[in-house]
Chains A and B, each alone.
Chain A
């Protein structure tokens, strides 16, 4: 039994995939706290689809995936951030247009020019095959970088997430903080796309944060818990993925969903009350925009 459980560790591709999935889970769990509390789950979902367009373009042009999809993701993130802050049209509608158009462009490029370079299915649903040493180090480096941003920007991020108007009035540069958060989100999606796939990244952003919220009323504890839950989910999901011979992305998400169900059952109405209204945030309230 133990030998069977440890058998995949004999393979380098699995060890690489496991490390990437664990760090990617922690990364998504950490960033997901802000995504969930700012009511940005839809942006996370949309951004992962937008990056798919960059993935397709970079595969076809023969450009380095990280550079091509990364630049595309950053541009999409800044565009979404700009649209969301301006509130000229409904944010959901604008995000829908930007991200689905980018996703559709990726599909069209693949249809027109074939699936050169990167794997189409792997981009959509994730795969641990082909996770190289350099991918492992890149994921660890991005996780460390994001952790540093969250550490040193902890107070600014918290205040801006909870009460952007008062934060702005108190001298916090909320526009800059929001832009940094969008860049962090785009980078996290980019780092985790290979293992999780674009269609499932949103779940790994949302589930650990939601589970953590059901367990605590403190922001700092929620941040730690979500990071840990994301890492554990990635680790367990990768192992289950190997033994059931199912793609890594869906397995990791299903492990997270099972954990959510278990915590939901254990905390009952208390957990429900804590998560109720998580999507309500000060930005939802009518909020005047300074006249030009």
Chain B
């Protein structure tokens, strides 16, 4: 991966909620046009790392340097969105134009900008729809549109493919690849090692501290994965891409469910 100009640099960063450290001694540099995924088990600090990059969580120690004037866009996890909130797609996207604006209605220029960005993301005809009346992929695009309206150089996304079907996941990946090609740096978190992480050019394996970072082939190895997840995993290769297999084996005390010869499952 070509090394671009630095956007954000974390050096020996530790973050904590109260006394409990969530991130410890993290070194990470995000460069221009970088496309990275942060992987790790639940509670490993992925979202905290994202929020540290965003600037809403302050490190307890270590240093965080952001390029002066850096614009960062943030796309929250869909589970964190209140889908009952009475807001249309257009109203939601326009929220990016809040700071320093005192008139409630959108100007002609803003209307044009919102229209352009929605058209670019293929949801131009949905501006008047309520955000709940959209498919999973369209909902993701709305929040990406809101982030893009702020003209960011860095886009942060929390679990963009969490809880979506395969087709939506492909839509999201293609969209992000397009945005990356257009020059946007993207950092996202994901639990999906095979469907998402393996497709990204750069990964960070995190479990409170950075266990490893590099290309999927460099970090999706049994050793790094075991240190990251605390569980043994096998890694195969398919079409030049690593495939992670969960090689769960039961302990003597656990009776596994077993597929019977006639189909279906039954307790052994």
Of A162, A170, A218, A289, which contacts B99 at CB under 8 A? Answer: A170
**If the complex has contacts A169-B56, A282-B81, A288-B51, are A155 and B95 also in contact, measured as CB distance less than 8 A?**
yes
- The smallest beta-carbon distance between B160 and chain A, in angstroms, is 15
Q: Does A158 contact B (CB under 8 A)?
A: yes
Q: Does A163 contact B (CB under 8 A)?
A: yes
Interface SS, B side: loop
- Chain A residues closer than 8 Å to B146, beta-carbon distance: 166
Contact at B99–A169, with CB atoms within 8 Å? no
Q: Does B79 contact A (CB under 8 A)?
A: yes
Chain A residues numbered 147-170 whose CB sits less than 8 Å from any CB in chain B: 151-152, 154-156, 158-159, 161-163, 165-170
- The smallest beta-carbon distance between A274 and chain B, in angstroms, is 7
A231 to B186, CA, bound (A): 49
Encoded as 1 (CB less than 8 Å from any B CB) or 0, chain A from 273 to 292 comes to 01111101110010011110
Of B59, B74, B92, B101, which contacts A155 at CB under 8 A? Answer: B101
Q: Does B191 contact A (CB under 8 A)?
A: no
Of B79, B86, B99, B102, which contacts A274 at CB under 8 A? Answer: B86
Q: Does A217 contact B (CB under 8 A)?
A: yes
**If the complex has contacts A151-B104, A169-B72, are A282 and B80 also in contact, measured as CB distance less than 8 A?**
yes
**If the complex has contacts A156-B98, A277-B84, are A290 and B91 also in contact, measured as CB distance less than 8 A?**
no
Q: Does B82 contact A (CB under 8 A)?
A: yes
A243 to B223, CA, bound (A): 81
- Chain B residues closer than 8 Å to A137, beta-carbon distance: none
A169 to B146, CA, bound (A): 13
- Chain B residues closer than 8 Å to A167, beta-carbon distance: 95, 98
**If the complex has contacts A152-B102, A288-B51, are A163 and B95 also in contact, measured as CB distance less than 8 A?**
yes
Contact at B84–A171, with CB atoms within 8 Å? no
Pick 30 A–B contacts, CB within 8 A, sort by A: A37-B85, A37-B86, A155-B102, A158-B87, A158-B95, A159-B95, A159-B98, A162-B82, A162-B95, A163-B95, A165-B74, A170-B150, A171-B99, A172-B98, A213-B86, A217-B86, A217-B133, A218-B87, A219-B88, A274-B84, A278-B84, A281-B85, A282-B81, A288-B22, A288-B47, A289-B17, A290-B57, A291-B16, A291-B18, A291-B58
Interface contacts beyond A162-B92, A291-B57: sample of 10 additional A-B pairs, CB < 8 Å, sorted by A? A155-B104, A163-B81, A163-B95, A165-B51, A171-B99, A172-B98, A217-B133, A218-B130, A219-B87, A288-B51
Which chain A residues have a beta carbon within 8 Å of chain B's beta carbons? 37, 151-152, 154-156, 158-159, 161-163, 165-172, 213, 216-222, 274-278, 280-282, 285, 288-291
Q: When A and B form their complex, which 9 residue pairs have the shortest distance between CB atoms, in order from nearest?
A: A154-B104, A217-B130, A277-B84, A171-B99, A155-B98, A159-B95, A290-B58, A291-B16, A159-B98
